Structure 1
Amino acid sequence: MKEIKGTTKLCGLVGNPVEHSISPLIHNNLSKLKDIDMVYTTFRVEDEDVDSAIKGAYALGIVGLNVTVPHKQRVMESLVAIDPLAKAIGAVNTLVRDEKGFKGYNTDILGLERELMDEGLSIKNKTCIILGAGGAAGAITFLCASREAKKVFVINRSLDKANSIKEAVNAHFNSDIVEVLGLDEYERIEDNDCLCIQCTSVGLYPNVEDVIISDDAFYKKLSAGVDIIYNPYRTRFMKLCNKAGKKAYNGLKMLLYQGVCAYELWTDTKISASECQKIYTKMRAHMAGNIILIGFMGSGKSTFGKWIAKHKDMEFIDTDDYIESKENMSINEIFETKGEEYFRELETSVVKELQAKLTNCVISVGGGLVVKPENQKLLANMGKVVYLETPKCELIKRLSSSNNRPLLKDVNLSDRIDELMEKREEIYKKAATVKVDTANRDFEDMYKDIINS
């Protein structure tokens, strides 16, 4: 737990709702990486309280704020200055402390542009479809026009809001690049390789089955889809894109990069690509919500994992059991008939398979699975990796009667444990998000170490 002092700086997120946000994860981990004494939290603010909240935040000495739905436009009335780009877009998502109040910026488009670059998606000469007409939709429409899109269609229920975006962007660029369509008018789009960006809150958790357009024919017009929602990790919009054979991406990287831009404005620092990747890995793990138990054979991964699953309403999966079920033979039989190298490749393929489909699970992995660097990276993206640290004397006690461990066959148990631990212990520690000492502790106490890390 970070020590909060009288000199600790404060930033935060203003919106409604904000409880679901993972922005605190981004900014508090950035401060940890950069060794900056600053904390970030969330502030739920009602529509009628936006002005008083912003002025109060300035009076309290808050360094900076992010602004999310539904306040990205309303907040502009409470600012002493607005960056020209944000003014042209007509929406603000970042506030930076100035001499007499806050100055507004828009880092949404910078975040999305960087995500598109990461995924190899280009706007230039592309027909772009924007679903929605809120603050994010306005910013992204502006981005598409500024990056030489062939045409931009804004599709929305309310044509008035969509037309406001159209008029602002077309006037700014002195063109007719933006056209407005109703939800049932997408057939007027002639191209069949459009880049579609879903900018509404439709489909946001807990309403995960909602989607703004459900017609399969719409998705056949796309080359790729990007949903700025990141919770759930795979939205129904993304599933419909995939069903039509199109690639789909969520808004997690956009959230990361717009947050990084805001953080750099508040702290006058630069965040490196490697630091961004570290934060993104934490974000991926957080969204998955899995607990991955690693450690030496006999450390109690399966027993503790089943206890967590039972008492914390999670599913339990043991990778060794999963492999035995897929191969229809025991681990011993796999080692004897196909060899250890074959088994290690099986482990990697299983981790890849589980990564793609598991959330809110406790996963116990084989003792040797973590040794492979590729597996370490996969596990880091799946959830919180927990190393169960167990004394050698306890391992000997638990393993002395075991006859189903191929690496312990026909060897001196104590010597074999020493040999394997010498190879693996530092790997376990490096791969772990949190280390849990299992010696003489009950499961509830051990679980607290995980949730408090």
Structure 2
Amino acid sequence: MVLLGESIGYSLSPTLHNAAFAHDGIDCVYLACSVESSGVRAAMDGLWALGARGANVTIPHKQQALACATEATPTAQALGAANTLVRTPEGWRADNTDVAGFLAPLDAHRSRLEGARVVVFGAGGAARAVVYGVLTALEAAKVTLVARRPEQAEALAADLETAAGRAKMQVATPGTAASSVREADLVVNATPLGMGDGRTPWPGADDFRPEQVVYDLVYRPAQTPFLDAAASRGATTIGGLPMLLGQAGAAYRLWTGREFPLDVAREAALSALQS
């Protein structure tokens, strides 16, 4: 198994998957392989020739991996991106487990989030999975996309128009989003801000409130400035590690047909984060 992407030395995926394989006695190894966009198809062909069982794909190759696959699941097709490749007799099947990973830690809060008002910071691939998840699984009533480039957020909203159904989709910039953040039931950071740089997509701690769930997809560090600000106002906070484990577990089941040893993988990830 491999992870295909660029600048992926930070990834915890090899750590948690290799821990899971060792625990389950599976003769597999998971490696991170940096690949340029021009080499994605060749990398997929090479993995196929080597007999690889599957792969993960991360930015910026998720759309290209989907295009190069022989077939795709409805979720991958709806998102226009694949983060998981599964070997089949016919070729690579593209799937997307980001949605399942994002939703996994929200199960405990589902009753208060069904029909929620949601704010999502970002308009890239991670935001696409988040928006699709809240629309299809939580039946969000309203989704506000906050992006520095509104045209990118508008394109995302247009792409997911079918999934939106009767939900209200709107676009805001960081300068116009305060009222949406204050009224939201769920606030999600789907940008890289906070990944070891001390930055936050939303500096206004006073806009958070105790009734909210605030979720940061960044997992390194475990507690970001964004989550610190929300916690200071009493909000329920969720870091990015549960999503990473959730999407990894879904991919693991697709590759092996076995349940993911979640506790083993979590312990390995936490140990790596603390080292």
Q: What's the TM-score, normalizing by structure 2?
A: 0.91
- 3-state SS of the aligned residue for 2:62? coil
Instruction: Return the alpha-carbon distance in structure 1 between the equivalents of residues 251 and 124 of structure 2.
Output: 20
CA distance 1:187–1:136, change in 2 (3 Å): same
Equivalence for 2:66? 76
Equivalence for 1:105? 95
Which stretch of structure 1 is more off in the superposition, 254-263 or 71-80? 71-80
Instruction: State the Cα distance separating 1:233 from its structure 2 match.
Output: 1.2
Instruction: Return the alpha-carbon distance in structure 1 between the equivalents of residues 154 and 211 of structure 2.
Output: 23
Equivalence for 1:154? 145
Which stretch of structure 1 is more off in the superposition, 49-58 or 254-263? 49-58
- 3-state SS of the aligned residue for 2:160? helix
Equivalence for 2:155? 164
- Listed as ranges, the gaps of 5+ residues in structure 1 are 1-10, 290-453
Equivalence for 2:107? 117
Instruction: State the Cα distance separating 1:150 from its structure 2 match.
Output: 1.9
CA-to-aligned-CA distance 1:84-105 (integer Å, 9 cap, x gap): 1111122211111123431111
Instruction: State the Cα distance separating 1:193 from its structure 2 match.
Output: 4.5
Equivalence for 1:185? 176
Matches within 5 A, 1:23-422: 23-118=13-108, 122-146=112-136, 147-189=138-180, 192-205=183-196, 207=197, 209-220=198-209, 223-271=212-260, 275-289=261-275
- 3-state SS of the aligned residue for 1:39? coil
CA-to-aligned-CA distance 1:319-343 (integer Å, 9 cap, x gap): xxxxxxxxxxxxxxxxxxxxxxxxx
Aligned residue pairs total 274
Contact 1:126 1:195 survives alignment (8 Å): yes
- 3-state SS of the aligned residue for 1:43? strand
CA distance 1:93–1:84, change in 2 (3 Å): same
Q: What's the TM-score, normalizing by structure 1?
A: 0.57
> Quick check: which has more Rg, 1 or 2?
1
Contact 1:192 1:220 survives alignment (8 Å): no
Instruction: Return the alpha-carbon distance in structure 2 between the equivalents of residues 129 and 190 of structure 1.
Output: 6
Instruction: Return the alpha-carbon distance in structure 1 between the equivalents of residues 192 and 240 of structure 2.
Output: 12
Equivalence for 2:6? 16
Which stretch of structure 1 is more off in the superposition, 217-226 or 99-108? 217-226
Instruction: Return the alpha-carbon distance in structure 2 between the equivalents of residues 218 and 62 of structure 1.
Output: 48
What value does the CA root-mean-square deviation take over the aligned residues? 2.1
Contact 1:130 1:199 survives alignment (8 Å): yes
Equivalence for 1:335? none
Contact 2:56 2:85 survives alignment (8 Å): yes
CA distance 1:21–1:250, change in 2 (3 Å): same
Instruction: State the Cα distance separating 1:267 from its structure 2 match.
Output: 1.1
Instruction: State the Cα distance separating 1:42 from its structure 2 match.
Output: 0.4
Equivalence for 1:365? none
Instruction: State the Cα distance separating 1:116 from its structure 2 match.
Output: 1.3
- Listed as ranges, the gaps of 5+ residues in structure 2 are none
- 3-state SS of the aligned residue for 1:189? helix
